[in-house]
Amino acid sequence: QVELVESGGGLVQTGGSLRLTCVANGLAFSAYAMAWFRRAPGKELEFVAAISQSGSMTQYAGSVKGRFTVTRDNAKDTVHLQMNSLKPEDTAVYYCAADDLYASSWAAIGLSVDGFDYWGKGTLVTVSL
């Protein structure tokens, strides 16, 4: 059974850092582009970052560029999201998702959730003032 498990969320102050981890189980990990989405309280799901199958390409939402970095380690079936200079508006449940790009494209990966085959249950990040 495929399972994506996020960890690393928690409570930090404005300006602090967190590193999220997503571990993929039962998945041909290197065949999937991986992405992070988030849902802030009372808001819709928002694309955060994505990384290609080999890790050679990344995409970021404009709101996190320069502050967040997505990486992956295909030998460990893991993807990370390093979050620096955190702001209260980053408060959200962060979800890891996997997309084999059969029904979508790398260029459009952040524009729709329809191509994502698997989702984690999320990890909560709270950034206090």
pLDDT in tens, 49-58: 999 999 999 9
Average pLDDT, the chain: 97
Average confidence (pLDDT) over 59-78: 98
Average confidence (pLDDT) over 16-40: 97
Residue 48: band (very low, low, confident or very high) from pLDDT cuts 50, 70, 90: very high
* pLDDT cut 90: percent of the chain above it: 98
Residues 6+ away with beta carbon under 8 Å from 100? 31, 32, 33, 115, 117
* 58, containing H or E segment: strand 58-60
Residue 37: band (very low, low, confident or very high) from pLDDT cuts 50, 70, 90: very high
